[in-house]
Structure 1
Amino acid sequence: MMSIVDIYGNPLRSERELKQQQTHDDARLAHLQHHYDEHPTSGLTPSRLANIMREAETGSLVSQMELAEDILEKDAHVYCEVDKRRKALLGIEWNITPPRNASAQEKADAELIQQMLEDSTIMDEAILEMADGIFKAFSCLEIKWAQFDGLHVVQGLDFRPQTWFQLNPLQRDELRLRDNSHLGAALQPFGWIKHEHKAKSGYLGRAALVRQVAWPFLFKNLSVRDLGEFLEIYGLPLRLGKYPSGASENEKSTLLRAVMSIGHNAGGIIPRGMELDFHEAAKGGAEPFEAMIAWCERSQSKAIVGGTLTSQADGKSSTNALGQVHNEVRQELRDSDLKQIAATLTRDLVYPLYVLNGRSYRSAHRIPRLEFDVTEPEDIKLLSESLPGLVSLGMQIPQEWAHDKLKIPVAQKGQAVLGVSPSNESKDNLTPLVALSAIHKITPAPDDGPDHADQFSAQLRQQMGDALGSMTDGIRALVEQANSLDELAELLASHAVNVDDASAIMGQAFAAVELAGRIDVEQGR
């Protein structure tokens, strides 16, 4: 164990470190278990939002991470778009691929890691928790190790809130745990899946997607508040009470209570001589506020999922073709997210499993990789119609390539496979060319029976009978009609013999015999 290092070259000092969780067993980090988030969106102003972002740029990520969590809880539209992008990553098949030109032992180690991860059932949880970093720039999962049958296995993964971390002030791309020191505590080797998801280039403090969404959230929040005030003030008609001169304070109070309650109770009483009038509210509408809210939500959708038509439609530009384009953009985002997650899982999960359990490990330059299969299956009908023509042109197409394109697994040895069983009814409906060739393919002649030439000759005589019969019947009628040889010659000269049917049958027969001969040569008969 003394020579084992992580992919960064940090040594794992002892076997005991694998059995300890850094955030549980380090006394300096005990305070993190009792950290409770603030809610910076309460009373959020442009100046306060700018200060939060400046703090993140200097390495203090707490306020920015609390802001991101608050936005997800308060803004249903943002939560829906982020959750849509996260859930799109689930259900994609993944495989552990050995290094290039792998030896037999390297292939066996990759298969072992594949089985360990499939049996542990942690992959869906890991992918979903790591996808939380799409909105917040990073996501950290602490690994719980265990030993089973002499193997080091991952027993579970614990998600740790982003507020537990800070940036190293001396190296602003390095995440560290907050231990009340200036530099923070370095993450324990082999103890973490540290996923840094770059929504844009730059230091980690500025790579979070929340920074693009926070400003539209702020403007939308202000517009919703203004809309609520507008509806409260101008949504109901103005109620105005009039009292006669010389009214007492008690009478004025009675009239005021009636004015305030009549809008809710739809009824009330006032003393005789007093009046209650309803005046139309000031002219205005909610359209400006709704336009601002709609603009903010469109901006958020563009930032998160790359478009608007996969989340909402305006009834004007929401065509099916444009919706398909927006959906393709969302698929490109999914593939990009999966590639970033695959790189992290290869580095922080597959590599430790390979180092601790693999027999072929030599260095970090040749390790198995986790890869997501993001290719879409080809159109089976289109490919099945195209391949025969390409093969007939001489193209040598591997069967493995066709299986990969169609996403059809290769049958294992002894595994039942689909097949086409010949039927007598279907053979009767075949064209003569196919029927002639089918005799050779489906019912090959036994060694002690008639050869294929005799079979083809018999079938040719049978099919040519009708065509030749129609030709001879016409000539026979002319012979019976003629009274002399000269008259017969004239009749034959003017008689047209139709040989099209006979020519077609002979051409098909020659083609079928040629195909049968090629098969005989290929099969050595």
Structure 2
Amino acid sequence: MPRLLDQYGQPLQREVLAEPQTARIGWVTREFAEHPSRGLTPARLHRVLEEAEQGVLSAQADLFTDMEEKDGHIFAEMSKRKRVLLTLDWSIVPPPQASAAEKTLAGRLQEWLDNMPDLDDVLLDCLDGIGHGFAALEIHWQQLGREWLPEKLSHRPQRWFQTLPENGNALRLRDGSTEGAELWPFGWVLHQHRAKSGYLTRAGLHRILCWPYLFKNYAVRDLAEFLEIYGLPLRVGKYPSGATDAEKATLLQAVAGIGHNAAGIIPEGMLIEFQEAAKGSHDPFQAMMDWCERTQSKAILGGTLTSQADGKTSTNALGQIHNEVRHDLTVSDARQLEGTLSRDLLYPLAVLNSGQIDPRRLPRLVFDTRAVEDMASYADSLPKLVGLGLKVPVSWVRDKLAIPAPAEGEEVLSAPRPELALPPALRPTAKPDKAALHYRAVLRNSDGETVYPDQQAIDDISLPQLDSAVQQLLAPLISRIQSGENPDILLASLATAWPELDDSQLQQLLAQAIFVADVWGRLHGDS
């Protein structure tokens, strides 16, 4: 194999193709999570976050994992945030003004990724970095024929890593040394996700969510205690003077258990009194939990109306605005993931199988994050705008409506020629003179009246059937006049006979005339 350079310009380490880096430090894989969420307090949470800023990530990583496991609301909202990218189409795009070789390479990369059976899992594992600030997937390489391809990409827990105390962005693999081991290029897909600015140790979204998570836990615990005693009377035990510690303990046990067991025994001479039943409301606890969940939704999805509705302030318009904010987050997540996969997956694939290439000319993975416009609105407005002379690029319309350009020889939809609906006398035989047919150009008819070109064309249409249609309509009236009826009787009989007159032929002719006028105006009114 010729001398190859990694994505950072350093010589490629051949051992990365033989075995994964973690195979040499197996002890870290046998560590168990500490679950710092158990008994979490504000003081302990502060210590966990402070340790992470100093480079020790294990406790923070364990806490963030517990948060998604224990808080169903965080899990649901984070799942929406991450899985929306799985619904997007993607493609490998060659660089601008690509050569034939670069286009061929883009096609090969597209084929390799299309054939990866677990690509969706890879994308989902990478997006775990939204909450933690980073996600590391270790590449296991295999050689099939002459091609080097990933056998699998394994997600590694964030607790396996550390950062340098003086540089929170320098991620290292924990190997027992003070500074840790540098990650092998070509051996990892390292997605560093910036949910907010700052060092890698503070860029994760879960750093914002951990405080509402803590407060919500307190509210849930208090609510559980309230529900346990709600409706139970206050129980007071009285013991005589001189009672021993054992007797006092027996009385306390009876007082504590009588609410659940509805029975108990106490020594003679002792007394249990029942006071007024416990009162209160769950509303304060529920208000705190609702506030925490709304805060979590705002931090994860940019709003609350795409995740839950309160029945009071939720409207369709507000929901649409919040959904637009959520689309902005999707675009941001997709752009960051595109850079990671292009650098850490496409570049190694290209170099190992096609030789050294310029990273600046590397084909890129691109997600289709376009928000498709309302096709009905564009279908109504575009013909009008084009009719007014606005020059609209076809590529712009295709991009807005997400309509791909047809491939050569591909079957496409088509509409019949509208001019064929005109009578033969009106079908254009040559390209009309724009100046003569412009709607502002006026003509004079035989009576000296001002008319427009399309109106003159309609006036010139010969409809020989009109006379016969009128005669058929007025035939009953003409026969009555010929019979000598006086005008009063004639008018009365005409009013009675009007619904019975045959005007179907005249209606058909008028409909044809209106249709011809409409088609003529559409064809020539904007010329």
| TM-score, scaled relative to structure 2 | 0.76
**CA distance in structure 1 between the aligned counterparts of 2:423 and 2:36, rounded to whole angstroms:** 83
Residue 95 of structure 2 is matched in structure 1 by 99
Alpha-carbon spacing, 1:291–1:508, altered in 2? closer, same or farther (3 Å) = closer
Counterpart among 275, 281, 285 of residue 285 in structure 1: 281
Residue 422 of structure 2 is matched in structure 1 by 435
Alpha-carbon spacing, 1:249–1:339, altered in 2? closer, same or farther (3 Å) = closer
Residue 50 of structure 1: how far off its partner (Å): 1.3
In structure 2, stretches of 5+ residues that fail to align are 429-456, 483-507
**CA distance in structure 2 between the aligned counterparts of 1:502 and 1:249, rounded to whole angstroms:** 112
Is 1:305 matched with 2:301? yes
Residue 84 of structure 2 is matched in structure 1 by 88
Alpha-carbon spacing, 1:274–1:90, altered in 2? closer, same or farther (3 Å) = same
**CA distance in structure 2 between the aligned counterparts of 1:510 and 1:219, rounded to whole angstroms:** 72
Listed one character per residue, the Cα deviations across residues 428-470 of structure 1 (whole Å, up to 9, x for unaligned) are xx9x9933269969xxxxxxxxxxxxxx9xx965x34425985
Residue 327 of structure 1 is matched in structure 2 by 323
Aligned pairs for 1:290-439 (under 5 A) are: 290-358=286-354, 362-419=357-414, 434-436=421-423
Alpha-carbon spacing, 1:277–1:10, altered in 2? closer, same or farther (3 Å) = same
Residue 336 of structure 1: how far off its partner (Å): 0.8
Aligned pairs for 1:105-504 (under 5 A) are: 105-240=101-236, 262-266=258-262, 278-358=274-354, 362-419=357-414, 434-436=421-423, 463-466=463-466
Instruction: Say if 1:224 and 1:289, in contact at 8 Å, map to a contact too.
Output: yes
**CA distance in structure 2 between the aligned counterparts of 1:516 and 1:85, rounded to whole angstroms:** 49
> Percent of aligned positions with the same letter in both sequences?
48
Instruction: Say if 1:12 and 1:189, in contact at 8 Å, map to a contact too.
Output: yes
Instruction: Say if 1:2 and 1:12, in contact at 8 Å, map to a contact too.
Output: no
Residue 7 of structure 1 is matched in structure 2 by 7
Give the partner amino acid of 1:352. Answer: P
Alpha-carbon spacing, 1:52–1:241, altered in 2? closer, same or farther (3 Å) = closer
Alpha-carbon spacing, 1:104–1:223, altered in 2? closer, same or farther (3 Å) = same
Instruction: Say if 1:437 and 1:512, in contact at 8 Å, map to a contact too.
Output: no
Residue 88 of structure 1: how far off its partner (Å): 1.6
Alpha-carbon spacing, 1:271–1:467, altered in 2? closer, same or farther (3 Å) = farther
Alpha-carbon spacing, 1:258–1:344, altered in 2? closer, same or farther (3 Å) = closer
**CA distance in structure 2 between the aligned counterparts of 1:181 and 1:250, rounded to whole angstroms:** 56
Instruction: Say if 2:142 and 2:148, in contact at 8 Å, map to a contact too.
Output: yes
**CA distance in structure 1 between the aligned counterparts of 2:202 and 2:256, rounded to whole angstroms:** 51
Residue 19 of structure 1 is matched in structure 2 by 18
Give the partner amino acid of 1:308. Answer: T
- Other structure's SS at 1:120 match: coil
Residue 30 of structure 1: how far off its partner (Å): 1.6
Listed one character per residue, the Cα deviations across residues 174-218 of structure 1 (whole Å, up to 9, x for unaligned) are 211001111211111111100001111111111111211111222
Q: Let me know the Cα RMSD of the aligned residues.
A: 4.2
Give the partner amino acid of 2:165. Answer: P
Residue 326 of structure 1: how far off its partner (Å): 1.7
**CA distance in structure 2 between the aligned counterparts of 1:80 and 1:252, rounded to whole angstroms:** 49
**CA distance in structure 2 between the aligned counterparts of 1:220 and 1:138, rounded to whole angstroms:** 26
Instruction: Say if 2:231 and 2:279, in contact at 8 Å, map to a contact too.
Output: no
**CA distance in structure 2 between the aligned counterparts of 1:465 and 1:224, rounded to whole angstroms:** 86
In structure 1, stretches of 5+ residues that fail to align are 423-429, 442-455, 482-500, 518-525
When the two structures are aligned, how many residues end up with a matched partner?
A: 467
Instruction: Say if 2:370 and 2:402, in contact at 8 Å, map to a contact too.
Output: no
**CA distance in structure 1 between the aligned counterparts of 2:101 and 2:513, rounded to whole angstroms:** 61
Residue 503 of structure 2 is matched in structure 1 by none
Alpha-carbon spacing, 1:365–1:244, altered in 2? closer, same or farther (3 Å) = closer
- Other structure's SS at 2:63 match: helix
**CA distance in structure 1 between the aligned counterparts of 2:178 and 2:250, rounded to whole angstroms:** 66
- Other structure's SS at 1:134 match: helix
Residue 365 of structure 1: how far off its partner (Å): 1.6
Alpha-carbon spacing, 1:237–1:399, altered in 2? closer, same or farther (3 Å) = same
**CA distance in structure 1 between the aligned counterparts of 2:80 and 2:512, rounded to whole angstroms:** 63
**CA distance in structure 1 between the aligned counterparts of 2:213 and 2:518, rounded to whole angstroms:** 74
Alpha-carbon spacing, 1:344–1:246, altered in 2? closer, same or farther (3 Å) = closer
**CA distance in structure 2 between the aligned counterparts of 1:514 and 1:318, rounded to whole angstroms:** 47
**CA distance in structure 2 between the aligned counterparts of 1:377 and 1:305, rounded to whole angstroms:** 20
Residue 491 of structure 1 is matched in structure 2 by none
**CA distance in structure 1 between the aligned counterparts of 2:169 and 2:103, rounded to whole angstroms:** 35
Say which is worse superposed, 239-248 or 83-92, in terms of deviation.
239-248
Residue 492 of structure 2 is matched in structure 1 by none
Give the partner amino acid of 1:365. Answer: R
Is 1:33 matched with 2:32? no
**CA distance in structure 2 between the aligned counterparts of 1:467 and 1:433, rounded to whole angstroms:** 27
Give the partner amino acid of 1:7. Answer: Q
Counterpart among 46, 50, 53 of residue 50 in structure 1: 46
Listed one character per residue, the Cα deviations across residues 304-356 of structure 1 (whole Å, up to 9, x for unaligned) are 22122222333332222222222221221111111111111111111111222
- Other structure's SS at 2:360 match: coil
**CA distance in structure 2 between the aligned counterparts of 1:214 and 1:254, rounded to whole angstroms:** 43
Residue 150 of structure 1: how far off its partner (Å): 1.7
Residue 394 of structure 1: how far off its partner (Å): 4.5
Instruction: Say if 2:232 and 2:278, in contact at 8 Å, map to a contact too.
Output: no
Give the partner amino acid of 2:18. Answer: K
Residue 494 of structure 2 is matched in structure 1 by none
**CA distance in structure 1 between the aligned counterparts of 2:45 and 2:403, rounded to whole angstroms:** 52
Instruction: Say if 1:39 and 1:66, in contact at 8 Å, map to a contact too.
Output: yes
Aligned pairs for 1:499-518 (under 5 A) are: none
**CA distance in structure 2 between the aligned counterparts of 1:330 and 1:510, rounded to whole angstroms:** 49
Alpha-carbon spacing, 1:516–1:48, altered in 2? closer, same or farther (3 Å) = closer
**CA distance in structure 2 between the aligned counterparts of 1:510 and 1:321, rounded to whole angstroms:** 41
Listed one character per residue, the Cα deviations across residues 191-248 of structure 1 (whole Å, up to 9, x for unaligned) are 1100001111111111111211111222222232233333334542124578999999
